[in-house]
């Protein structure tokens, strides 16, 4: 930023200095040209010997060479003290330096054209000693009607010296300005980008130590402050994600350890009975094998739940997502729930409703809600399943959920202390929450609205009661 600031200031100063130099140069040369234009033509007498000092008698008969034919001027202003006048014939055979001139003027080949053009012209030139000058070229006549060329010149050496001094001054100002701008830009850049330096230090610290959660102070509301705030949010989110991941691994390990320990104990008992030659009674062996099968089923269910939770929070567009009939999915889940609770009564009211979701994941979520209702329903109890305008409710008549435990029901591996003895992994409602959120809906679990016993689960999914038209298949070309 400091380099860019210095470069921008350097360009601005350079352009300003160049413009200033050209403007001053133009003004000075215009002033010289104005002085040269206002300079009168001195009286001249052209004789055969090119008299340089006219006599008193000659002065009365002097011809005053006018600026152009038909006019005259005899007054010589003060600014012409350094001026020089020179007259020469059209052929250049006779050149006369007029009295009072500072020095001789260098003749240019094009000056002779003034005799025939009858025009006053201006050109840059030099004196005979090489001093730069601005020259006026004009035709004049003497008393005999002869036409001569009159050169009037003013030196411009002082103008060039002034322009050189001005160029040096502008160059010095430009160098000082660039240096000051660079220093100021560096100071401002360091002050303005200090949050970026702090952010860089924090990022390097996280990359070096892998300790997420570090934040930096945020001051102001500019772009850098917004960047710092976004980084803080990202860092906290990463820390929370890692904490959830660590907790998930720890909880999963704890939940997996229980069925694995039971399986290992049962297998050790069977192996020891064979090694000692004292086989177990058939009834006991059958019971142990049944327990092993139940533990393996529980382990399979737990692994399936973990795989379900390992999916990305937001599925890729178009991946397993389609328009599905929510009422049909709910009906299939109810049919499966009846098999798991044959003694329960299911009161089902399902209205047509079509949503955009993953059909398999959505059916698993509804099935988890029904499993939860079946698990806590008393024998012979009723479960009410109602779908109306995209709102699915599952109501059981069990013991319900204590108010102080409602905030934990969707947490992974959380199980109510009163239900620890019941089968389950504590992941079912977590899968429900994640699936419904992935489908753009909402889910809630709480007490029954009528004040009766049991719990009420409510799922809302955006959709439509009308089935959208099916997309016609694209036939292959012949």
pLDDT, tens digit (0-9, with 9 covering 90-100), for 340-399: 778 888 999 999 999 988 888 888 888 888 888 888 888 888 899 999 988 999 998 888
pLDDT above 50 for 65? no
- pLDDT on residue 226: 81
- pLDDT on residue 297: 72
User: Which of 357, 355, 338 is CA-nearest to residue 346?
Assistant: 338
Residue 37: count other Cβ atoms within 10 Å of its Cβ: 12
User: Which of 348, 436, 434, 424 is CA-nearest to residue 388?
Assistant: 348
DSSP per-residue codes, 142-193: -TTS-EEEEEEEEE-HHHHHHHHHHHHHHHHHHHHHHHHHHHHHHHHHHHHT
- pLDDT on residue 403: 76
pLDDT above 80 for 478? no
Task: Print the SS3 string covering 106-148.
Answer: CCCHHHHHHHHHCCCEEEEEEECCCCEEEEEEEEEECCCCCEE
CA-to-CA separations, 36 to 78, 99, 118, 325, in angstroms, rounded: 12, 18, 18, 100
Encoded tokens for 187 = 């100071």
pLDDT, tens digit (0-9, with 9 covering 90-100), for 131-151: 888 888 888 776 667 778 888
Give the residue, 385 or 77, on which the prediction is more confident.
Answer: 385
- pLDDT > 90 in the chain, percent: 6
Enumerate the β-bridge partners of residue 13: none
Is there a contact between 104 and 126 (Cβ–Cβ < 8 Å)? no
pLDDT, tens digit (0-9, with 9 covering 90-100), for 296-321: 876 776 677 667 666 654 444 445 68
- pLDDT on residue 255: 62
pLDDT, tens digit (0-9, with 9 covering 90-100), for 424-469: 556 677 778 888 888 888 888 888 777 778 888 899 999 888 876 5
Task: Give mean pLDDT, residues 110-127.
Answer: 81
Enumerate the β-bridge partners of residue 457: 394, 445
DSSP per-residue codes, 294-333: HHHHHHHHHHHHHHHHTS-SSPPTTSS-EEEEHHHHHHHH
- pLDDT > 70 in the chain, percent: 76
Cα atoms in the Cβ-side hemisphere of radius 13 Å centred on 391: 6
Is there a contact between 90 and 115 (Cβ–Cβ < 8 Å)? yes
Q: State the alpha helices, DSSP H only, in 193-312.
A: 194-209, 223-275, 282-309
Encoded tokens for 411 = 């947490």
For the chain, give the mean pLDDT.
Answer: 75
Q: How far apart are CA 186 and CA 413, in angstroms?
A: 55
Encoded tokens for 475 = 């036939």
- Domains in the chain and their CATH numbers? 44-156 (3.30.450), 223-309 (1.10.287.130), 322-464 (3.30.565.10)
pLDDT, tens digit (0-9, with 9 covering 90-100), for 248-284: 676 666 667 767 877 888 888 888 887 887 877 888 8
Which phi and psi angles does 7 have, rounded to 5°?
-65, -45
- pLDDT on residue 354: 92
Sequence-distant (6+) residues with CB within 8 A of 26 are none
Give the residue, 53 or 260, on which the prediction is more confident.
Answer: 260
- pLDDT on residue 308: 63
């Amino acid at each position: 930023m400091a380099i860019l600031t210095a470069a921008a200031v350097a360009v601005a100063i350079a352009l300003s200095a160049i413009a200033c130099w050209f403007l001053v140069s133009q003004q000075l040369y215009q002033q010289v040209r104005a002085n040269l234009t206002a300079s009168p033509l001195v009286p001249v007498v052209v004789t055969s010997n090119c008299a340089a000092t006219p006599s008193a008698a000659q002065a009365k008969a002097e011809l005053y060479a006018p600026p152009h034919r038909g006019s005259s001027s005899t007054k010589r202003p003060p600014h012409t003290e350094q001026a020089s006048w020179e007259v020469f014939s059209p052929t250049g055979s006779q050149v006369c330096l007029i009295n009072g001139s500072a020095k001789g003027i260098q003749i240019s080949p094009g000056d002779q054209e003034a005799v025939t053009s009858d025009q006053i012209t201006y050109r840059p030139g030099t004196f005979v000693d090489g001093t730069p000058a601005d020259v006026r070229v004009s035709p004049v006549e003497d008393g005999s009607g002869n036409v001569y060329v009159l050169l009037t010149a003013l030196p411009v050496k002082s103008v060039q010296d002034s322009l050189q001094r001005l160029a040096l001054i502008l160059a010095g100002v430009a160098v000082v300005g660039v240096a000051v701008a660079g220093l100021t830009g560096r100071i401002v850049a360091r002050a303005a980008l200090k949050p970026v330096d702090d952010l860089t230090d924090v990022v390097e610290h996280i990359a070096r130590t892998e300790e997420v959660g570090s934040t930096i102070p945020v001051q102001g509301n500019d772009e850098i402050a917004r960047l710092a705030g976004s980084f803080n949010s990202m860092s906290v989110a990463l820390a929370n994600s890692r904490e959830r991941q660590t907790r998930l691994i720890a909880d999963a390990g704890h939940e997996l350890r229980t069925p694995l320990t039971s399986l290992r104990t049962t297998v050790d008992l069977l192996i020891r009975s064979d090694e000692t030659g004292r086989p177990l009674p058939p009834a006991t062996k059958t019971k142990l094998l049944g327990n092993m099968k139940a533990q393996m089923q529980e382990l399979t269910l737990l692994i399936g739940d973990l795989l379900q939770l390992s999916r990305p929070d937001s599925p890729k567009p178009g991946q397993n997502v389609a328009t599905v009939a929510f009422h049909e999915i709910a009906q299939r889940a109810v049919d499966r729930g009846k098999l798991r609770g044959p003694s329960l009564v299911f009161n089902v009211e399902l209205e047509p409703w079509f949503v955009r979701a993953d059909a398999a994941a959505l059916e698993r979520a509804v099935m988890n809600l029904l499993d939860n209702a079946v698990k806590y329903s008393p024998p012979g109890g009723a479960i009410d399943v109602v779908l109306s305008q995209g709102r699915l409710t599952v109501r059981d008549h069990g013991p319900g959920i204590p108010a102080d435990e409602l905030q934990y029901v969707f947490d992974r591996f959380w199980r109510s202390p009163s239900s620890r003895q019941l089968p389950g992994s504590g992941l079912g409602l977590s899968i429900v929450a994640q699936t419904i959120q992935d489908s753009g809906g909402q889910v809630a679990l709480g007490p029954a609205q009528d004040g009766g016993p049991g719990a009420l689960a409510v799922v809302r999914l955006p959709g439509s009661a009308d089935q959208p038209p099916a997309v016609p298949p694209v036939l292959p070309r012949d």
